[in-house]
Amino acid sequence: MPGRPVVELGCQVRFGGRAWTVVGLAGDQVRLVAEDGAVAAVLLSLLFADAGFEVLNAPGVPRVPPLGLLESLPEAVRERALTWERHVREVETGQLGGPGDTGPRRAEYDPQTRTLTQREKAKAAELSAAGMPTSAVTVRRMRARYRQDGVWGLVDHRATRPRTALGRADERVVAAVQEVLEAGRERSSGTLGRLRAYTERLLAEQYGQGVVPLPSGATFNRLLHALADGRGLLDSARQRRWRSARPAPPFVPTTVMAPGELVMMDSTVLDAFVVLDDGVVERPELTIALDVATRTICAAVLRAKGTRSVDAAQLLAQMMVPAPMRPGWAEALAMEHSVVPYERLLSVDARLEGAAARPVITPQTIVVDQGKVFVSSSFIAACESLGVSVQPAPPGNGPAKGQVERTFSSISTLFVQHVAAYTGSHTGERGKDAEGEAVWTLAQLNDLLQEWIICGWQEREHDGLRHPMMPRCALSPNEMWAALVAVCGYVPVPLDREDYIELMPVKRQKINDYGIRIDYRTYDHKVLNPYRGEHSPAADGLWEIHYNPHAPGQIWVRLPKPDQPRGYGWEAVPWIHHTLVSAPFTDFTWQHIKRTVARRAQHEHDLALALRELLERAAAGHGTRREKVVAARARTAATDGAVWGILYGRQPEAEADEPGDEDVFDDSEDAEEPLTDDDAVGAWPTEDARTSASSTAPVQEAGVPAPRRAQVTVYDPFEESLQW
């Protein structure tokens, strides 16, 4: 780095349009000699004020030496540069320590008696006699370097040349290896020998056979590692895909300071076996919604394999409804015994009475991956209807939703590994007979999980949860929610029966003379008579239909009803063969039947008979393992959690007697009975709780009052802040 030019003896300046050499400095005057011998004495102020003034070849003032670079040099190179610095200083000033040194001067380097040339020759002779052959020209060159760059100019810069791990490898080989590595980024992992063969083939195609030889095997492998290790191109296929999907840095952390401001949803297969019907053992699938601001697990759905968009919509409903206390839970798990301001919130939302200590959080933005469940039109529509923004993460990019991925890992280590039939994270960690240890049904494991979320997760301190006013204190999710809700406020979002139907998957179809046909199943009822063959009021002329893939025995159709406030109402329409198939089944079961008997069954009735035969054969313990699994999943889907049943069962009895809610499975026109059992079989609100095909459908117990309607008001944080 060049120094700043200064005016001193011996330097050349431009003044008055001519080049001058400075030969003397006295006070505020400078004496100049031109090239033709002319002499001038000029005031420094006039010299600097000249419009053409310029310092032509003045030596620079040494900068601060780059100490960091000096420390990175080999010790021998650094000591040699520092030794040269002492010699150069002695030549110029007569002192080893420079101008500030007051020690005695050696006679051969005394500027008062020796010229600069004599001192340079004396130094060259001294160094040569000490075993370091040096000439006066070398001493003069080192002086110039020191005056230009300081001690860094005295360094042997052969030691500072950037080193490369590629060595002397042929550039053509390097380019070919890089191309082969990039081409294999998305392929399955292979050996280094395969990469060598591909590189040799590529060089032959580009330059001809044998024109560019490959180095030896060991040298080629070192070259591969030098080019690939820093970018992970020799990692596993999963790691390479992760690196490819990762956005380019730098990464900006997301700051979230309000509950529901950012919620992440994801699914994973749980590392434990559960027992389905007929003794079928399978690993279930867990879907959760995690609030980033409080690390609260707002909702969790445990299903047999085959999570659908309806399960993601169910998470939305779970988040917005208080979690009820379940039979057998300790009283300490109730919200009224937790750290949250229960009394203040109860005055705003009466639904919190008797609720478990899990925050009720309304999401504003939901981050999801590119799975079909979360990017389906039905889930997007459900979020839009609730005013929730959906933000898809880049495909295969785990860090974009790192909080929920880390939560899955915590669930596995804190809960799942303590469950019977724990499988480990991969087959290498699995025990000898993990399937034989399975004792919990899916419903039982779900109950255990929901209880653990309340007592094991929500009350556990998280090192990542720090309040700005208490940065040294780690908080639990409930403590963080209690701290933030006092600032951000709490606005309850009540959901009724129609809201739950709105969250179901949507189809738009015609109402034909034979009814409505969905996936080769026909649904029909007399409520459709006025609309057969008619166009709907929508622009496309199709009718809006909602359905539950886990219970395809009926659908809901939005029909005009001018007497209702919204101008429309929901009518439940049953499958025409619902009396033929009494056992519960799912869309997954139906698809299996279609694939199995499609070649011989040409009518919907044949498929219904095949479905009944499958379910009866599996229930009797006969049939293939695949058939048993299909039937077990179907029964599990109909009885595995009752989340929607709980939510719908909390609705007041008066809603069950609304006009148009007649029994769609029976023509008796009897009003339906409300669902109140917390362990209701129906996972969705049904239109025929009393005469359903399932014999275990819940009914209102005699003498038990129906739940009262929750009183909901709007929370004003400014007004409430005065009372906290």
- In whole angstroms, what is the distance from residue 427 CA to residue 430 CA? 5
Q: Are 91 and 119 spatial neighbours (Cβ–Cβ below 8 Å)?
A: yes
Q: Say what the pLDDT of residue 699 is.
A: 35
Q: Say what the pLDDT of residue 290 is.
A: 93
Contacts of 686 (CB under 8 A, 6+ apart): 551, 554, 572, 672, 675, 692, 697
CB-CB neighbours of 130 under 10 Å? 9
Q: How confident is the model at residue 588 (pLDDT cuts 50, 70, 90)?
A: low
Worst-scoring range by mean pLDDT, 156-160, 167-171, 487-491?
487-491
Region 323-336 average pLDDT: 86
- In whole angstroms, what is the distance from residue 211 CA to residue 190 CA? 26
Q: Are 24 and 47 spatial neighbours (Cβ–Cβ below 8 Å)?
A: no
Question: Angle 394-399-400 (CA atoms, 0-180°, nearest 5)?
Answer: 45
Which two tokens mark 402?
Answer: 């790192």
Q: How confident is the model at residue 407 (pLDDT cuts 50, 70, 90)?
A: very high
What confidence tens digit (pLDDT) does each residue in 339-392 have? 888 888 888 778 888 888 888 888 889 998 877 778 777 778 778 877 888 888
- In whole angstroms, what is the distance from residue 488 CA to residue 259 CA? 8
pLDDT at 296 over 90: yes
What confidence tens digit (pLDDT) does each residue in 654-703 have? 333 333 333 333 333 333 333 333 333 333 333 333 333 333 333 333 34
86 membership: H or E segment, kind and range: helix 75-93
What confidence tens digit (pLDDT) does each residue in 4-53 have? 556 777 778 888 888 888 888 887 888 888 877 788 888 888 888 888 88
Q: Say what the pLDDT of residue 650 is.
A: 39
Q: How confident is the model at residue 428 (pLDDT cuts 50, 70, 90)?
A: confident
| Total number of residues shown for the chain | 724
pLDDT at 205 over 50: yes
Q: How confident is the model at residue 613 (pLDDT cuts 50, 70, 90)?
A: low
Q: How confident is the model at residue 102 (pLDDT cuts 50, 70, 90)?
A: low
Q: Say what the pLDDT of residue 125 is.
A: 92
First and final CA of the chain: distance in angstroms? Answer: 63
Q: Say what the pLDDT of residue 258 is.
A: 87
What confidence tens digit (pLDDT) does each residue in 60-97 have? 555 566 777 788 888 888 899 989 988 988 888 887 76
Question: What values do phi and psi take at 390, rounded to 5?
Answer: -105, 125
Q: How confident is the model at residue 411 (pLDDT cuts 50, 70, 90)?
A: very high
**Residue bearing the bigger pLDDT, 51 or 620:** 51
Spatial CA neighbour of 630 closest among 679, 596, 680:
596
Q: Say what the pLDDT of residue 57 is.
A: 66
Worst-scoring range by mean pLDDT, 178-187, 327-336, 571-580?
571-580
**Residue bearing the bigger pLDDT, 700 or 405:** 405
- pLDDT > 70: percent of the chain: 73
H-state helical runs in 94-236: 116-129, 136-149, 171-183, 192-207, 217-228
Q: How confident is the model at residue 521 (pLDDT cuts 50, 70, 90)?
A: confident
Region 227-245 average pLDDT: 82
DSSP states of 258-270: STTSSEEEEEEE-
- In whole angstroms, what is the distance from residue 54 CA to residue 19 CA? 9
Q: Say what the pLDDT of residue 100 is.
A: 58
Q: How confident is the model at residue 195 (pLDDT cuts 50, 70, 90)?
A: very high
Q: Say what the pLDDT of residue 664 is.
A: 36
Q: Say what the pLDDT of residue 685 is.
A: 37
pLDDT at 174 over 80: yes
Worst-scoring range by mean pLDDT, 395-399, 503-507, 708-712?
708-712
Region 280-303 average pLDDT: 89
pLDDT at 312 over 90: no
Q: Give the single-character DSSP code of 29.
A: E
**Residue bearing the bigger pLDDT, 576 or 195:** 195
Question: What values do phi and psi take at 569, rounded to 5?
Answer: -155, 165
* Side chain identity, residue 6: V
Q: Say what the pLDDT of residue 595 is.
A: 57
Q: Say what the pLDDT of residue 158 is.
A: 83
Q: Say what the pLDDT of residue 712 is.
A: 44
CB-CB neighbours of 558 under 10 Å? 21
What confidence tens digit (pLDDT) does each residue in 627-655 have? 556 555 555 555 443 334 434 333 333 33
Which class for 314: exposed (0-12), middle (13-18), buried (19 or more C-beta within 10 A)?
A: buried
Region 155-175 average pLDDT: 81
